[in-house]
Amino acid sequence: MTPPAGPVRPANRHWRFTGWLLAAVWLFFLNIPFTTALHQPQMWRLLVGIGSLVAFAVAYVLIFQWARARRQRNLPVPPGRARLLIAVLLALGLAGIPGTGGDWLTTLVFVAAAAVFLLPSAEALVVVVLAAATPPVTARLVPGWEHESTLVFAVLLASFAMFGVSRLAQRNGELQAAQQEIRRLAVAEERVRAARDLHDILGHSLTVVAVKAELAGRLLPLDPARAATEIADIERLAREALADVRGTVGAYRGVDLASELAGARSALAAAGVVAELPESVPPLPVDRDELFGWAVREGVTNVVRHSGARRCVIRVEPSAVEVRDDGRGPADPRGTAGHGLAGLRERAGRLDATVTVARPDDGRGFLLRVTVPAADPDGGTHP
């Protein structure tokens, strides 16, 4: 799995404490060599034994925590450093022989467990086998070193338990990385949605404002009263756009077909485009009414902004809405360009609707059509 862009933090303090506990709980195996060191008649042997055991315990816990932290962040444990740390643990165990005698073999339990946690599976298996074989072999070769069968069992048990702990740490890291990726994608999706909505809202409103401002400028010396009316419309549209932006930010803004048709009539008139709009609309479900409203808004925005059309026709049916003009036609015949059409397609996709952008049958102008599958009598749908 690819590491995430940023570090993944442990879930909480409780889990961090659990990690220390998992590392320290096995230290009870050191009670045997520790007791042996305490009963050494010579002070230097006692100090060497106790010192080496304390250093070994601290090193083991720190190594375990370091490796666990890397696994939680989905970072690999460098093999070279892992081998060095295993060698350090083994060296500390061997250093205690003057004070612990044959009981130093207990440290092999920790060496095997650390190997399982740090090394690749094949190398870890070799270390575990050697650690389990060392006690009976050395008991035969070194006089005075008694072989305890429980030690071999402890090596195998600790290795098996550490295998489970290592997989748990790895899965925990992967889970946290997945959660972080989900949060990142959710933020990205919300940003796309906000950008799409703001484009759809302000693109239409500001286009109409620009057209009306241009018209008011031309009318001002000729018909001040009409110019004042257009300026009042500009103020109204600006306030509505501000309210729409606030509504979008507050996630409570809605669009309906009737309001968009009324706005389309005003925008087309200001642009000097002859409008042919339906006098009434059929009753529609709320989600379809909103989708058709967005389609009218996007289509009229394109007519006013890009088309150079003289006439615009809007048709509304129970399962479709159509915006048609006699202008220059779509710059992109497939209708793949533009944030507005992309946003409209996203909305249409939620209702399994299709968005068509093409030239009308007569070969002139622009056609935007949104079609929703009609309901079958049995509750299904068909195109």
Domains of the chain, earliest start first: 13-184 (no CATH), 274-383 (3.30.565.10)
- Is a pLDDT exceeding 70 seen at residue 85? yes
DSSP state of 4: P
What would the pLDDT profile of 98-141 be if each residue is shown by its tens digit? 988 888 888 888 888 888 888 888 888 898 889 888 888 887 78
> What's the pLDDT at 378?
45
Which of the given ranges, 156-160, 167-171, 285-289, has the highest pLDDT on average? 285-289
- Is a pLDDT exceeding 60 seen at residue 334? no
- Is a pLDDT exceeding 90 seen at residue 215? no
Give me the amino acid identity at 237: L
SS3 state at 367:
strand
DSSP per-residue string spanning 88-119: HHHHHHHHTHHHHGGGGGGHHHHHHHHHHHHS
pLDDT-derived band at 21, boundaries 50, 70, 90: low
**Cα 183–Cα 244–Cα 335 angle in degrees, nearest 5:** 75
pLDDT > 70: percent of the chain = 73
> What's the pLDDT at 288?
92
Assigned token pair, 37: 């060191």
Pairing of β 311-317 and β 274-276? parallel
pLDDT-derived band at 201, boundaries 50, 70, 90: low
DSSP state of 131: H
- Is a pLDDT exceeding 50 seen at residue 5? no
> What's the pLDDT at 252?
46
Nearest partner of 205 among 251, 229, 236, 246, judged by Cα: 236
> What's the pLDDT at 91?
93
- For residues 86 and 64, the model is more confident at 86
pLDDT-derived band at 320, boundaries 50, 70, 90: very high
H helices present in the chain, as ranges = 13-24, 31-38, 43-72, 79-95, 97-100, 107-118, 121-141, 149-219, 224-249, 257-270, 286-302, 339-350
- For residues 278 and 179, the model is more confident at 278
pLDDT > 90: percent of the chain = 13
- Is a pLDDT exceeding 50 seen at residue 342? yes
Assigned token pair, 312: 């615009």
Name 366's bridge partners.
325
* Dihedral sign, Cα of residue 277, residue 279, residue 281, residue 286: positive
> What's the pLDDT at 314?
94
Question: Worst-scoring range by mean pLDDT, 41-55, 57-71, 220-234?
Answer: 220-234
pLDDT-derived band at 10, boundaries 50, 70, 90: very low
The pTM score is 0.45
- Is a pLDDT exceeding 80 seen at residue 27? no
- Is a pLDDT exceeding 80 seen at residue 274? yes
Please provide the average confidence, as pLDDT, over all residues in the chain.
Answer: 78
How far is the C-alpha of 202 from the C-alpha of 358, rounded, in Å? Answer: 25
> What's the pLDDT at 339?
66
> What's the pLDDT at 270?
77
Give the residue-averaged pLDDT of 5-20. 48
Beta-carbon count within 10 A of 305 CB: 17
- Is a pLDDT exceeding 80 seen at residue 37? yes
- Is a pLDDT exceeding 70 seen at residue 26? no
Whether 309 and 325 have beta carbons less than 8 Å apart is answered as yes
What would the pLDDT profile of 92-106 be if each residue is shown by its tens digit? 989 988 988 888 888
- Is a pLDDT exceeding 50 seen at residue 306? yes
- Is a pLDDT exceeding 70 seen at residue 202? no
Name 338's bridge partners.
none
> What's the pLDDT at 25?
63
pLDDT-derived band at 55, boundaries 50, 70, 90: very high
Assigned token pair, 4: 């995430």
Question: Worst-scoring range by mean pLDDT, 3-7, 115-119, 171-175, 225-229?
Answer: 3-7
Whether 50 and 100 have beta carbons less than 8 Å apart is answered as no
Which of the given ranges, 118-132, 194-208, 320-334, has the highest pLDDT on average? 118-132
